[in-house]
Every structure is written in structure tokens, then in C-alpha cells.
């Protein structure tokens, strides 16, 4: 018995040695040739560096070109402060609005079957596929003073276009899919069983939602909120159309940056831009951490 | 609490899942709903729970019509195939969930809830597990926790939907024995759904065999196995071969040979018929009276041997089961078969 096992061990060792010693080790069928691998990696890294990393570094370099004093000075401008406050204000309203809409839409789609469900799913993706400028223009067409609802709104004394409501509506439109899209696949995968369990145990619908549904999707929800917030603060196209660029009143950070740039105030432009970029980096950092920490709870963590 | 289901129907869109099911469940009974997938057994269970709204009929809990009551009002305990434990809550919090969601008026005190949880954890033999999370438990343990959670609200009826379906064979058997003992001790009126006949026959006081939204047969496990009432039950429960035979002047024939089958009711028809024979009801001898046949296959499986015979003058194969240690015949040997029990149904389909 012991002899045969020794013999087996020896023969195994010989086999491994033979494999290691063979000069042209055979590749796995899914492995590329070394030169293909190197080429692909070089291409990917080169592209990312040139098109993504370099511009990002440049933003910060330009912002500090004339030193920290000039950088800080850019934020002393009341127009800059107003732009930052407006951007925060828009995010504070648009993100919770989309939180509610997103959960409702995801709930409706994941938990019920109804006519037109496929259409609703497609509709949720509309803001991803349509140009934000078009969205802005449609809002102008509908809600501006000469627009379809314009007369009625004017007589009611409500100003939407070239005012805060318009900016918020445009932002909500553009950022709608982020939360819904994150929740729908997860909720569909989870199904109804946990909710049914809660109901059979006597929980009311509201209780069930707070104690079972929400905890089940909380990481995906946070992830969606994060992406939604990043986009809400950075949105340019749709907001640009509806805002009217009224300095100190309807200028958000991205719009303010554009104005500064067009006025050749490069340091100020890049200083505000660096704030947006820093915000994006923080978002990215939290997002990566969430993905790493709660990979199992995020339905589509790898998708964005 | 006894349960009375009257003429229950359920349709999903244009497909009917239940066609007028009538069923009475006695208080304290352990009842199995057995059937293939799509037979309507889960739909029936979910209708009783209030998770599905019936299209017609009535469900009475202890004589009181519960057809229009909500899930919450019915006060049932439901155990799901995949446990459906709340994974963000500890085992203790899972078990006490049903008590904690009660309105303040009827909610027990924190101390009473703690005691109840302790008591249930002891009952499911997991006393030290209160602080753990569902992901730290094995499948069998999770299902016991799910049962404790369902029992915490002191339900009137316990409903189990394929409770062992997600477990491996060994744990399944252990848990089955455990559930039987558990039921004998606690005495809840219990309905459980399964597609596993062994489970149903082993565990239940009474078995309801369902197919295509109807009850095919109801009876004790012995009734169901020994006296299947319909061709479907013969096919579905246990093993059997189907022989296409014909009846002439009240006597059954396999090919040209007449077969004698004990305890068969008088045949009141002539023409084609189906004969269902279980392998363990077939005996064979080398000589004497019987249905003459030739050995065509031998197959050893575990402790028994399966022998295939072709009945003389036909292409029909009849199987017999013998202990593996008995000297087997050889392929080509001839033998006289004795059929000790069988089911006979008229028609060909």
C-alpha cells in the first residue's frame, strides 16, 4: 500500500516536472498570445491616459497655475458662490425627487405585471438615449411664456423656464434613470418572497416596505443616489437650454464655468471646474468602495 | 383549527390553475398536497394563505368564511421553499418579526417577546443561534428558523410550500423525521406542498394527489400507494408498467393469454383496457400456471434486481423486482409470471 502510494507520488512529480520543463508551455484556449496581450494593454492604458487621466490632471494644474491665492480668489466671486449654492440646491431637490420616482418605478416594474410594462421600461431609458439639449428644448417649448402651457402658467404667476423650477425639472429628467435602472434588476431578482413572508407574519404594506424591501435594496439604492447626484451636479446641456444664464440667479456650476472660460478667466474657470472634478473623484471613490464591499447586493455593479 | 375549502377555482388570465377543488382538513391533521409541477398544489396553498385571490369558491377557517380576509387577518404561518428569511436581521429578530410588527395594543412586551424567541429557539434545537445572521446557518437550520418565525405568531394553520425542496437528500430526510416529531408534539393543523411522493407518503396523515388543478385521489399514504384510484396516480406514485390489454367477456387478456389478477372488481365492459402493474407485485416461476414470458433484461440496482420479461406473443415488457442475492434467471429463459396485484382501467388513452 505504502509502496504504491510512493510510486504514485513519484509519477505525479515527474509529470509536473515534465510540464514545467517543456519549453513551449501550451496556452489555455481562452488565453491570448503574449504579444496580443501586450498590445491590448498598451492600447487601453494609452487611450485612458490620453483621453481621461491627462485632462483630469490638466484641470487641477490649470486651476493652480497662478498659485493657491488665485485659486481661492476664484471662489470669492459672489457669482461663483451663487452658482455653487444653486447647484447644491438643484441636487438637493432633484435627487430626492428621483429617489421617490425611481423606487416607485422600480417597484411597479419589478413587482407587478401590467399592460405597457415593456413600454415603461423603455421610457425610463429615454433620458439615456436622447440628447439633453433636446430635453431642454422640449421643456422650453412646453413651459416657456410662449409655450403650450405658457399662457396658463403666466396667468397663475408661475415662472418655470429661465428659473429654478425649469433647472430642477431638466435635471430630474436627465438623472431619472440612474436610480430606477439600479433598482429594477435587483428587485426583479429578489422577487416577492421576502415581502410575502412579511405579510404572512402580519406586517402592513407600509411596515413591510420599511423593514424588508428597503433594507434589501439599500446598497443598490445608495449606489444609484450617488450616480444620480454626480450627474445632477454636472449636468450641462439640458440645464443650459432652460436656465437663460442669468448670472447669480440661474447659473449652475457647469454654466458658470463655461461663462468664465468664454470670458478668458481661465484660472477661475478651472478652479470651479476642479471642484466639480474633485466631486466626481469622491463619488468614484465611494462607488468603488461600495462595489468592493457590497458586490453581492448590487445587481449591476459592473455595468456603469 | 379545521379548514374547509369549497369549490375553489383560480384562473390566471385564460389558464385555469384550480378547477373546483373541495377539501376538508381536520384540526391537527398533517396533510400533504402532492402533484407534479403545474398541478395547482402551490396555487391552492397560496389561496388558503391569502397570497392569491381565488376566482371562485370559499375557504372557511373553523367554520368562518375567510375568503375575503387579507393575508394579515388570516393569521396563518407560511414557510417558503427558499426560507425567505430577512437576511439583514438576526435569527432572533427574524423569529420575533411577526410580534414586533403588531400594533402597540396587541404587541407583547419586549420581555415577553424575548421569552418567546428563547422558547422557539429551544424548540427548533438552535438555542445558541439567536445572535447570528441567516447567512451563517446551513439550509436545514434556516428552514427550522423559518418554521419558528411562522410559529411565533401562533398561527391557526401552518402552510409549508415545498419546505425541503432546496435541501440536499440527507438533510431532507433528517428534517422530514424532525418535522413529523415536531408536528406530533405541537399539533398544528398543517398543509404542506411537495412534488416528492416519498416525502408525502412518509410524512403525512393524509395525502391529496393533484393533477391539472383537480384532486385525483385523497387518502391515507397506504391507500394512495396500494390502491391508486386513477391511471394518473398509478403513473405518478411508485413505479408501474402500463400494459395495453383487452377484456373479453369480463376476462382480461395480455396478447392471447388470459391473466388472473386477484382482488379485481368484476369487469363490466369488453374492449381495450390498460393494466398497471408494479414490479414488486410480479412473481415468476420456471413452471406451472401463469402468464408465460421470456427474460429480456437484467438490471442490478442496489439491494434489488430488476428483471424485464416480454409476454409471449406480444411486444409488452413486464418488470419484476427480486432481491439481488437470489439466483437470477438468464436472458432468454422462460418463466410463468404471477401478477399479485394490479390496476385495470378501460380505454386506451
Average pLDDT over residues B137-165: 92
- DSSP annotation of A163 reads S
Q: Are residues A16 and A32 in the same domain?
A: yes
Residue where a domain terminates, one of A23, A43, A63: A63
8 Å CB contact of A216 and B80: no
Q: Rounded mean pLDDT of A134-148? A: 88
d(CA B18, CA B14): 12
C-alpha cell at B230: 386513477
The answer to which of A86-90, A138-142, B82-86 has the lowest mean pLDDT is: A138-142
Instruction: Confirm if B210 and B39 have CB atoms less than 8 A apart.
Output: yes
Structural element, H or E, at residue A59: helix A54-63
A198 vs B101: CB contact, 8 Å cut-off? yes
- Mean pLDDT for the stretch of residues B181-202: 91
**Region class of A27: left (phi > 0), else alpha (psi between -120 and 50), else beta:** beta
Residues A243, A286 within the same domain: yes
Tell me whether residue A303 is in a domain.
Answer: no
Output the pLDDT for position B294. Answer: 94
**Enclosing domain of residue A52:** 1-63
In a domain, A304, yes or no: no
Cβ contacts of B23 within 8 Å, gap of 6 or more: B3, B4, B5, B8, B44, B208, B215, B218
Percent of chain A with pLDDT over 90: 43
Check pLDDT > 70 for residue B77. yes
Does A163 share its domain with A54? no
Rounded to the nearest angstrom, the gap between the alpha carbon of residue A191 and the centroid of all alpha carbons in its chain is: 25
Q: Residue B152: pLDDT band by 50, 70, 90 thresholds?
A: very high
Residues of chain B with pLDDT > 90, as a percent, come to: 72
B31: confidence class by pLDDT, cuts 50, 70, 90: very high
Could you give all domains of chain B from N- to C-terminal order, each with its CATH number? Answer: 3-234 (3.40.50.300), 239-346 (2.40.50.140)
Q: Judge whether A297 is closer than 8 Å to chain B, CB to CB.
A: no
Q: Which residues, numbered 210 to 269 in chain A, qualify as contacts with chain B under a Cβ-Cβ cut-off of 8 Å?
A: 211-212, 215-216
Residues A113, A15: one domain?
no
Q: How many domains does chain A have?
A: 2
Interface of B with A in 140-199 (CB under 8 A): 149-150, 152-153
For residue A159, being part of any structural domain is answered with: yes
ipTM value: 0.85
Residues of A in contact with B101 (CB under 8 A): 198, 201-204, 207, 211
Residues of A in contact with B80 (CB under 8 A): 193, 196-197
Same domain, A105 and A238: yes
**Considering the domain boundaries, does residue A149 fall inside one?**
yes
- What is the per-residue pLDDT across A142-189, written as a single tens digit (0 to 9) for each? 888 888 888 888 888 888 888 899 999 999 999 999 999 999 999 998
Contact between A267 and A207 (Cβ < 8 Å): no
How confident is the model at residue A295, as a pLDDT? 67
pLDDT tens digits for range A72-92: 888 888 889 999 999 999 999
Interface probe with B: pick from A201, A207, A214, A216, most Cβ of B within 10 Å: A201
CA distance, residue A301 to nearest chain B CA (Å)? 20
Q: Copy the grid coordinates of residue B117.
A: 424567541
A53 located within any domain: yes
Residues of B in contact with A194 (CB under 8 A): 84, 86
User: What single string gives the DSSP state of each residue in B66-86?
Assistant: -TT--HHHH-EEEE-TT----
- Residue A304's pLDDT band (cuts 50, 70, 90): very low
pLDDT of residue A298: 58
Three-class secondary structure of residue B130 per DSSP:
coil
Return the CATH number at A151: 1.10.3720.10
Residue that finishes a domain, picked among A9, A35, A63: A63
Separation of alpha carbons B131 and A32, rounded Å: 49
Residues A101, A43 share a domain: no
Determine whether the interchain pair B78/A197 forms a contact, defined as Cβ–Cβ distance below 8 Å.
yes
- Is A201:B98 a contact under the CB 8 Å cutoff? yes
CA A244 remoteness from chain centre: 26
Does the pLDDT value for residue A15 go beyond 80?
A: no
| Residue A230 placed within a domain | yes
Same domain, A252 and A185: yes
Query: Is the model's pLDDT at A19 over the cut of 80?
Result: no
- Does A24 share its domain with A100? no
In the listed set A17, A46, A63, which residue is the last one of a domain according to the structure? A63
Q: Which residues lie closer than 8 Å to A233 by C-beta, 6 or more apart?
A: A87, A88, A90, A91, A253, A276, A279
Asked if residue A21 has pLDDT above 60, the reply is no
Closest CB to A202: pick one of B49, B87, B101: B101
Question: In terms of domains, do A102 and A211 share one?
Answer: yes
Mean pLDDT across chain B, nearest whole number?
92
Amino acid at each position: 500500500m505504502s509502496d504504491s502510494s510512493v510510486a504514485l507520488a513519484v509519477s505525479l512529480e515527474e509529470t509536473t516536472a515534465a510540464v514545467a520543463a517543456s519549453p513551449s508551455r501550451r496556452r489555455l484556449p481562452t488565453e491570448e498570445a503574449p504579444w496580443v496581450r501586450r498590445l491590448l494593454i498598451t492600447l487601453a492604458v494609452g487611450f485612458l491616459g490620453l483621453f481621461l487621466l491627462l485632462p483630469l490632471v490638466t484641470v487641477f494644474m490649470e486651476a493652480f497655475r497662478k498659485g493657491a491665492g488665485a485659486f481661492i480668489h476664484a471662489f470669492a466671486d459672489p457669482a461663483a458662490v451663487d452658482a455653487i449654492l444653486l447647484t447644491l440646491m438643484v441636487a438637493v431637490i432633484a435627487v430626492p425627487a428621483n429617489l421617490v420616482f425611481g423606487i416607485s418605478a422600480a417597484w411597479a416594474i419589478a413587482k407587478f405585471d401590467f399592460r405597457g410594462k415593456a413600454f415603461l421600461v423603455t421610457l425610463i431609458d429615454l433620458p439615456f438615449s436622447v440628447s439633453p439639449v433636446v430635453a431642454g428644448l422640449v421643456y422650453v417649448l412646453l413651459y416657456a411664456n410662449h409655450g403650450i402651457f405658457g399662457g396658463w402658467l403666466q396667468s397663475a404667476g408661475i415662472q418655470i423656464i429661465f428659473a429654478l423650477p425649469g433647472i430642477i425639472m431638466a435635471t430630474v429628467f436627465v438623472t431619472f434613470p440612474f436610480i430606477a435602472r439600479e433598482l429594477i434588476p435587483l428587485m426583479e431578482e429578489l422577487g416577492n418572497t421576502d415581502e410575502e413572508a412579511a405579510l404572512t407574519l402580519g406586517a402592513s404594506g407600509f411596515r413591510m416596505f420599511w423593514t424588508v424591501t428597503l433594507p434589501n435594496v439599500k446598497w443598490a439604492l445608495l449606489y444609484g443616489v450617488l450616480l444620480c447626484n454626480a450627474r445632477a451636479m454636472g449636468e450641462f446641456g439640458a440645464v443650459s437650454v432652460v436656465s437663460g444664464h442669468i448670472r447669480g440667479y440661474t447659473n449652475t456650476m457647469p454654466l458658470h464655468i463655461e461663462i468664465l472660460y468664454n470670458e478668458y478667466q481661465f484660472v477661475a474657470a478651472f478652479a470651479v471646474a476642479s471642484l466639480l472634478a474633485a466631486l466626481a473623484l469622491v463619488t468614484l471613490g465611494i462607488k468603488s468602495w461600495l462595489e468592493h464591499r457590497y458586490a453581492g447586493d448590487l445587481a449591476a455593479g459592473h455595468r456603469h | 383549527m379545521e379548514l374547509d375549502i369549497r369549490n375553489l377555482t383560480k384562473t390566471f388570465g385564460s389558464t385555469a390553475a384550480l378547477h373546483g377543488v373541495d377539501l376538508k382538513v381536520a384540526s391537527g391533521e398533517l396533510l400533504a398536497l402532492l402533484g407534479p409541477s403545474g398541478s395547482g398544489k402551490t396555487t391552492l396553498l397560496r389561496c388558503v394563505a391569502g397570497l392569491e385571490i381565488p376566482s371562485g369558491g370559499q375557504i372557511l377557517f373553523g367554520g368562518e368564511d375567510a375568503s375575503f380576509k387579507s393575508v394579515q387577518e388570516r393569521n396563518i404561518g407560511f414557510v417558503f421553499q427558499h426560507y425567505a428569511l430577512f437576511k439583514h436581521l438576526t435569527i432572533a429578530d427574524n423569529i420575533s418579526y411577526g410580534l414586533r410588527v403588531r400594533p402597540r395594543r396587541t404587541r407583547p412586551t419586549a420581555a415577553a417577546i424575548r421569552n418567546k424567541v428563547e422558547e422557539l429557539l429551544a424548540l427548533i434545537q438552535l438555542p445558541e443561534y439567536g445572535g447570528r445572521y441567516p447567512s451563517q446557518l446551513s439550509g436545514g437550520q434556516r428552514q427550522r428558523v423559518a418554521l419558528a418565525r411562522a410559529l411565533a405568531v401562533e398561527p391557526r394553520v401552518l402552510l409549508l410550500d415545498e419546505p425541503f425542496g432546496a435541501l440536499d437528500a440527507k438533510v431532507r430526510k433528517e428534517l422530514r423525521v424532525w418535522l413529523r416529531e415536531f408536528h406530533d408534539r405541537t399539533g398544528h393543523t398543517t398543509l404542506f406542498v411537495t412534488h416528492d411522493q416519498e416525502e408525502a407518503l412518509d410524512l403525512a396523515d393524509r395525502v391529496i394527489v393533484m393533477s391539472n388543478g383537480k384532486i385525483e385521489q385523497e387518502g391515507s399514504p397506504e391507500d394512495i400507494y396500494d390502491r391508486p384510484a386513477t391511471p394518473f396516480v398509478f403513473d405518478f406514485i411508485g413505479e408501474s408498467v402500463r400494459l395495453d390489454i383487452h377484456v373479453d367477456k369480463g376476462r382480461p387478456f395480455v396478447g392471447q393469454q388470459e391473466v388472473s389478477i386477484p382482488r379485481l372488481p368484476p369487469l363490466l365492459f369488453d374492449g381495450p383496457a390498460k393494466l398497471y402493474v408494479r414490479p414488486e407485485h410480479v412473481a415468476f416461476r420456471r413452471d406451472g400456471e401463469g402468464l408465460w414470458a421470456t427474460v429480456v433484461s437484467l438490471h442490478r440496482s442496489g439491494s434489488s434486481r430488476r428483471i424485464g420479461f416480454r409476454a409471449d406473443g406480444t411486444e409488452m415488457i413486464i418488470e419484476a423486482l427480486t432481491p439481488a442475492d437470489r439466483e437470477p434467471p438468464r436472458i432468454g429463459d422462460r418463466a410463468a409470471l404471477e401478477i399479485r396485484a394490479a390496476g385495470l382501467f378501460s380505454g386506451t388513452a
